[in-house]
Amino acid sequence: MSSQQLYHGDTEVSRKEQQPAMDHVPDALATAIAREMGNILVRQPLGLMDDFFLAGGDSSRAVELITRLVERCALGDAEATDQLHAALTLAMFDNASPAAIAEAIAKQTIERS
Amino acid sequence: MTSIVPTGMVADRLRSHARRAGGRIAVRTRSTTGWSAMTWAELRDAALSAVANVTGPARPRGPAIVLVDNTPASVASLLGLAMAGVDMLLMERENSYLHDERSVVNRLPATDLICPSDVQLPRAGLAQRTFNGLIAGPPATDPPRAEHPGSAILQLTSGSTGEPKIVRQTLGNILTGGALHRDLHRVTEADTLFAMVPLAHSFGLVGALATALVSGAGLMTMSRFTPGAVLEGLDAGATGLLGTPLVYELISPVLPRRTADARARFALSSGGPLAPRVGEAVGERLGVPVHQVYGSTETGLLACQYDRPEPWPENCVGTMAPGVEWRVRSHEGRYALQGRGQLLVRTTTMFLGHEGDRGSPFRDDGFFESGDLVEVDAVGHVTVLARKDTFVNVGGRKVNPRRVERVVAEHPGVREVFVYGGTARAGEEEIHAALVLGPDAGTGDVMEFCRTRLMRYEVPHHVHALPSLPRTGMGKVDLCRLLEIVAAAEKRTND
């Protein structure tokens, strides 16, 4: 399952809200992550370049987010899932924007395909 | 209780380490821009400069609030203040207490704020000094005579009732606690301890900083936690890790399998129960078990696991630490050394009391009621069945729900509020807030309000807007009924 498929139907957001994401990362994925971050923070979806921690996230909420994303993006086998988990954990504490997290997921997905 | 650590311990230890291994790294810290470090000789000189800068007319007239950011400069400042006999309240750099006018911190007659250079002075009446300023200038040449084991090390605690309290610990107790950790885990100057927790908190202060000081081990810290920094620390030779269950959960997926040149030889977890799946995963990758540690700011170390041939029973926090006297009070009110019940303790690192409290926190026989429900078996294994329920344990940080309630209630649209803890992942808790809102207020407004006044981990994870709060005949919030109402509302939403 590709990262685009995972978030199918979860993409509606006004273009006005969106900020530029990396060219090769699907907007739909980043938008869905922005919405998931908003759910966890009990607020509106984040902008694609907003930082999860600056928006109110802490380590405990980061674990919750990573857990949800890994569950939704299960890559088929345990080893791939572990690699995704590790990549997301490192990415969250490097650049915690929806766009950057989407890029980390997309990279893992591409590496597996 | 009499401290077993003699007067002059900080100064003596710094001098000894600087004389024998002056060029060896004493403290290194990972910040967002990279690593910074001080050798033992540099740490000694910087701390003695701090002594010179707080001696004579420059000496704080009251307790100093120290915003410890885990940098070498903050460590040197802290040690210098200790050698100068200055009472100090240790806090994390980022906290919600200083700007909260009604917090217990602002009732402390503090006169000085010692902090990183980019911290904004929270209120008038505090003389602000920076770490870099404090450790600048010539070091004190005379041996510090003001150092005393009775100097106060003040720390925040969740409090047994009402709002958080300030615990009055002593420098002697902190160092004694370090000696206990040193002996239990056989820490020597060949070790490097990686504090993955703030040095302002008991576990970091005692388990990492004091242990390093009394053993000569190196100390690694982070100004901001990142799993990547932990990997760098392990690559750089960290031999002992200190973290919370949440920290171990975060590093678990990124740890590489142990290699032949790995140096980690022990890992300690404190702040709450470590989920077995996390402990096993980290232990397998590090190649050493994660030992659980149980204690409190008030009592110091109570029990811990340590290396031994036989495995520790699941969920056990080890055996009682040296110097701990204990009694288990059963449901029937009988006292014994084993069995299940409320834990009462006397320790060699017991606090003196809470700031501002007139009454003694101790029973007539000197025992302190921990408030925790434990089980001690026939061979002395301790299992914590339940911690006192006056706080919500968010990733090892004890959040006082009554304080969060008070802050939330300051929102003009909140008519009633009740804050409580709920279970999240295994071993972790989250904060719930049940609200009754006025006609013009929304939960989003209240959350934004919280985010401006509370630390991120203190902000409720879940908000439940209700038409009214269920109450008992005595007028107290009926938690059982509230949980039923919230569960029913969530079921309706999910359906």
pLDDT of residue A5: 34
Planar angle of CA B471, B474, B479, nearest 5 degrees? 35
* Identity of the residue in B428, B443, B444 whose CB atom sits nearest the CB atom of A60: B428
Taking domain A21-112, whether its CATH number is 3.40.309.10 is answered by: no
Q: What is the CA radius of gyration of chain A?
A: 13
Q: Which residues of chain A have pLDDT under 50?
A: 1-22
Averaged pLDDT, B288-316:
95
Distance (Å) from the alpha carbon of A89 to chain B's nearest alpha carbon: 7
pTM reported for the whole predicted model: 0.89
Averaged pLDDT, B237-248:
96
pLDDT of residue B425: 66
For chain A, give every domain's residue range.
21-112
**A43 chain-B contacts, CB cut-off 8 A:** 444, 447-448
Using 50, 70 and 90 to split pLDDT, how confident is the model at B378?
A: very high
Inter-chain contact B253–A89, Cβ cutoff 8 Å?
A: yes
**Taking Cα atoms as reference points, which of A96, A30, A31 lies closest to residue A63?**
A96
Inter-chain contact A63–B225, Cβ cutoff 8 Å?
A: no
Distance (Å) from the alpha carbon of B444 to chain A's nearest alpha carbon: 6
State the complex-level ipTM.
0.85
pLDDT tens string B23-67: 999 999 999 999 999 999 999 999 999 999 999 899 999 999 999
Instruction: Give, to the nearest 10 degrees, the angle between helix A59-72 and helix A78-92.
Output: 150
pLDDT tens string B139-182: 887 766 778 888 999 999 876 566 789 999 999 999 999 999 99
Using 50, 70 and 90 to split pLDDT, how confident is the model at B7?
A: very low
Please say if the pLDDT value at position B207 is more than 90. Answer: yes
pLDDT of residue A10: 33
* Identity of the residue in B246, B447, B448 whose CB atom sits nearest the CB atom of A59: B246
Inter-chain contact A61–B447, Cβ cutoff 8 Å?
A: no
- Amino acid present at B138: P
First to last CA, chain B: 59
Using 50, 70 and 90 to split pLDDT, how confident is the model at B429?
A: confident
* Identity of the residue in A42, A57, A86 whose CB atom sits nearest the CB atom of B254: A86
